Amino acid sequence: MTVEVTDPRSRRRLRHATRVPSHRALAAILALLAAVAGFGLVFVETSLNRIDNSFTTQDISALLPSATPDATPTPEDDSAGKALNILLLGSDSRLGDANEELGKGDVGGMRNDTTIIMHISADRSRIEMISIPRDSRVRVSDCKMLDGSTVKGWTGKFNIAFANGGQNGNVAEAAACVATTLYDLTGVRVDHYAVIDFSGFVNMVDALDGVPMCIPNDVSSSKAHLDLEAGPQVLDGTTALAWARARTGSGLGDGSDLMRIERQQELLTNMARKALGLNLLTDATKGTEFITATAESLTMDPKLGDSHSLLGLAWSLRNFDTDNLYMTTVPWMYPSDGSGDVVWKEDEAAAMFALLKADEQIAPVEEPTDGASATPEPSASTSPGTSSTPSVSPTPDRETEQEILDSCATA
């Protein structure tokens, strides 16, 4: 495995590594990195400038002999020429007052409702994001812990892996257990991980001044503390979190995790659409606010959490075409046992992960006919014994928030 798990005493905040608290709900920021990679350079630079401005300095260059300044070096992608697999996780940990309040209750342990494998191609031309249903019935691997012990795995729902690894309250151990389970299931090696919690997600949405959404019908969920009217809405961080977490209630379909994944993918897409439309390249204040919220919201491995490595990766993606951003879900079906679990369609899932490991395009290449779109419509079957093809979210475009809201009328 290439996931790096460090002793919690050595973990640091973004600029050099990770931070200690556990994290949750949507691994949204790296989805946004995929969509706004061209802005990543400015995000990191402005954030570092804010830190640098905190120092007391005085220029003595005028007192020194003249010298020809060196040219500013181009940021270097430490993984240039290599495909990357980044594991994005959302944790429901209640550690911290903010997470406890947002989670509406004291729930022990930690679980992950969101798991996404983000694949960045070696030539940096494609980004593919595969959602793993939390209710997937799989063989959960044995997990190694930092103290040398092992937590035995068993066959059950996929999110057991995160809970097993997180028994000691350490997000890094939880992420390592998920990465190990994914490797044993798919052969895909994880290069980096990033985990976000309730409050981290709220902070990022609020840094964007909300996310525009088209709510298809009235929604009410007492468990998620969510009440929304149908129509165009701009969701603040707390409401967006509730929308992403909601599973049961009126207006939410059958309450399955698969329906929730569809909503989460749409939310990620609209966050990316708004971030693109804001043109953060020309708004240093908003860009700094967003990258600061990002830095304070994630737990990452030390390599991904180093600002210079992240800067290099962002620079290598500066010409990324968002037409090549593809979101999907591992092919799945319901078993006929009425358990509510889902099982992977083995042949199709194996073919998908084989393409990912070979760094080949996952998105189907289809020729449109009679003016029809080449992109299949999202679908999610809900009857036992039936199956679903992978769902696909629209590619983000550069739009204003109002244009996104106006599109609700034609959706």
Any domain includes 380: yes
Q: Which domain holds residue 228?
A: 8-51+77-410
**Alpha-carbon distance 299 to 108, whole Å?**
20
Residue with tokens 């996404």: 116
Q: Mean of the per-residue pLDDT values for the chain?
A: 74
Residue with tokens 């060196």: 70
Any domain includes 60: no
Taking 70 as the threshold, does the pLDDT of residue 379 lie above it?
no
pLDDT single digits (tens) 29-73: 444 544 444 344 444 455 555 545 544 555 555 656 665 555 656
CATH code of the domain in which 27 resides: 3.40.630.190
Count other Cβ atoms within 10 Å, centred on residue 339.
13
Q: How confident is the model at residue 289 (pLDDT cuts 50, 70, 90)?
A: low
**What is the model's pLDDT at position 191?**
93
**Alpha-carbon distance 348 to 261, whole Å?**
19
pLDDT top residue among 201 and 284: 201
Burial, 357: exposed, middle or buried (Cβ in 10 Å; 0-12, 13-18, 19+)? middle
pLDDT single digits (tens) 264-282: 888 888 887 787 777 654 5
pLDDT single digits (tens) 309-341: 877 887 888 777 777 888 899 999 999 888 889
Task: Tell me the mean pLDDT in the region 143-159.
Answer: 94
> Among the listed ranges 182-196, 294-308, 351-365, which one has the minimum average pLDDT value?
294-308
Taking 90 as the threshold, does the pLDDT of residue 354 lie above it?
yes
Any domain includes 249: yes
3-class SS letters over the chain: CCCCCCCHHHCCCCECCCCCCCCCCCCHHHHHHHHCHHHHHHHHHHHHHHHHCCCCCCCCHHHCCCCCCCCCCCCCCCCCCCCEEEEEEEECCCCCHHHHHHHCCCCCCCCEEEEEEEEECCCCCCEEEEECCCCEEEECCCEECCCCCEECCCEEECCHHHHHHCCCCCHHHHHHHHHHHHHHHHCCCCCEEEEECHHHHHHHHHHCCCEEEEECCCEEECCCCEEECCEEEEECHHHHHHHHHCCCCECCCCCCHHHHHHHHHHHHHHHHHHHHHHCHHHCHHHHHHHHHHHHCCEEECCCCCEHHHHHHHHHHCCCCCHHHEEEEECCEECCCCCCCCEEECHHHHHHHHHHHHCCCCCCCCCCCCCCCCCCCCCCCCCCCCCEECCCCCCCCCCCCHHHHHHHHHHC
- Percent of the chain topping pLDDT 70: 64
Any domain includes 56: no
**Total count of domains within the chain:** 1
> Among the listed ranges 56-60, 201-205, 283-287, 331-335, which one has the minimum average pLDDT value?
56-60
Any domain includes 61: no
**Alpha-carbon distance 153 to 65, whole Å?**
66
User: Tokens representing 154?
Assistant: 């068993």
**Alpha-carbon distance 388 to 137, whole Å?**
16
Any domain includes 253: yes
Nearest to 314 by CA among 30, 90, 2, 4: 30
Any domain includes 67: no
For the CA atoms of 190, 357, 201, 165, what is the dihedral angle to 10 degrees? -40
**What is the model's pLDDT at position 34?**
41
**What is the model's pLDDT at position 47?**
52
**What is the model's pLDDT at position 132?**
95
Any domain includes 130: yes
